[in-house]
């Protein structure tokens, strides 16, 4: 398989939990600037794949590369520094901090003044704080949360929390973003806004892996879709071809 330049590529990934084979030889490639859907029934291995890509689970077999960089055994932090960011099925925010502060924390990688500099409010720490705050403001406006900058994360509505989590992931200036069911619980209008956010990420050259049960949304918004079942890839192709694939029709669409 030829690898696209700068792609996030996974080869032959295997993961067992005791006797359960959650992933059995999964290979996928996420290209810069593409939105790729990952669909499959419950228990097919979607979240396990995201956890392995982002470093939350060690790998039994297989490899993960971002461009030429081998991330197979890399820590969560190293993968984040390499440019991989993610969101979770249930947003993991700091509940008592404001939306702005949550997003600023997502930009930790840019901070150089260190803990002591921040505690002493050194000029460098103040300058960094200003930059982080400006960027967080820009990101929050970009995801439609300009009205909620100073609101505590735990008082935001469910949909707002989902967009806040995306903004926080983007604060790390990622090259690839892994989204775990971002449309879950969103209203029709919010799903339309999510589509606009994904299109903007694509325009910026960011690759998005979209794990989502909302198949209509996936087929409408994605450049390519990977369908998995029982920890194996069934097909990876354009939305039209995946939607028409006989195993996908049988397994996912209930026909
Ligand atoms: P999906 O996200 O597609 O619903 P998962 O990746 O959550 O699927 O799960 C794939 C399989 O791995 C399931 O059989 C699930 O029970 C199992 N599994 C996932 N995480 C764990 C874990 N931490 N411990 C044990 N089994 C797990």
- The domains found in the chain, sorted by start residue, are 1-83+174-255 (3.40.50.300), 94-173 (no CATH)
Give φ, ψ of 209 to 5 degrees: -105, 115
Cα-to-chain-centroid distance, residue 26: 18
**Closest residue by Cα to residue 39 from 234, 170, 244:** 234
Interval between CA 151 and ligand 1 midpoint (Å): 35
pLDDT band at 1 (very low <50, low <70, confident <90, very high): low
Residue nearest to atom 12 of ligand 1 (CA): 22
Angle between helices 158-171 and 99-106 (to 10 degrees): 30
Residue nearest to atom 21 of ligand 1 (CA): 17
CA distance 194 to 217: 10
The predicted model scores a pTM of 0.90
pLDDT surpassing 90 at residue 88: no
**Closest residue by Cα to residue 87 from 189, 187, 200, 212:** 212
Handedness of CA 105, 108, 110, 116 (dihedral sign): positive
pLDDT surpassing 70 at residue 152: yes
**For a substitution probing ligand 1, which of 19, 39, 43 has the most ligand atoms within 8 Å of its CB?**
43
């Amino acid at each position: 398989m030829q690898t696209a330049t700068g792609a996030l590529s996974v080869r032959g990934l295997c993961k067992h939990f005791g006797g359960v084979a959650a992933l059995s030889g999964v290979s996928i490639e996420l290209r810069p600037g593409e939105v790729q859907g990952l669909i499959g029934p419950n228990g097919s291995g979607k979240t396990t794949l995201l956890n392995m890509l982002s470093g939350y689970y060690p790998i039994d077999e297989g490899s993960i590369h971002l461009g030429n960089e081998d991330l197979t055994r890399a820590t969560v932090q190293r993968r984040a520094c390499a440019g991989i960011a993610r969101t979770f099925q249930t947003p993991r925010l700091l509940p008592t901090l404001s939306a702005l502060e949550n997003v600023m924390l997502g930009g930790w990688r840019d901070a150089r003044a260190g803990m002591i500099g921040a505690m002493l409010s050194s000029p460098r720490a103040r300058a960094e704080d200003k930059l982080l705050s400006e960027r967080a403001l820009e990101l929050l406006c970009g995801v439609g949360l300009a009205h909620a900058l100073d609101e505590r994360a735990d008082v935001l509505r469910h949909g707002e929390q989902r967009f806040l989590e995306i903004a926080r992931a983007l604060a790390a200036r990622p090259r690839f973003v892994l989204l775990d069911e971002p449309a879950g619980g969103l209203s029709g209008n919010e799903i339309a806004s999510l589509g606009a956010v994904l299109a903007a990420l694509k325009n910026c050259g960011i690759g998005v892996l979209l794990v989502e049960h909302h198949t209509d949304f996936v087929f409408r918004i994605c450049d390519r879709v990977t369908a998995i079942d029982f920890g194996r890839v069934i097909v990876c192709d354009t939305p039209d071809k995946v939607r028409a694939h006989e195993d996908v029709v049988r397994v996912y669409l209930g026909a």
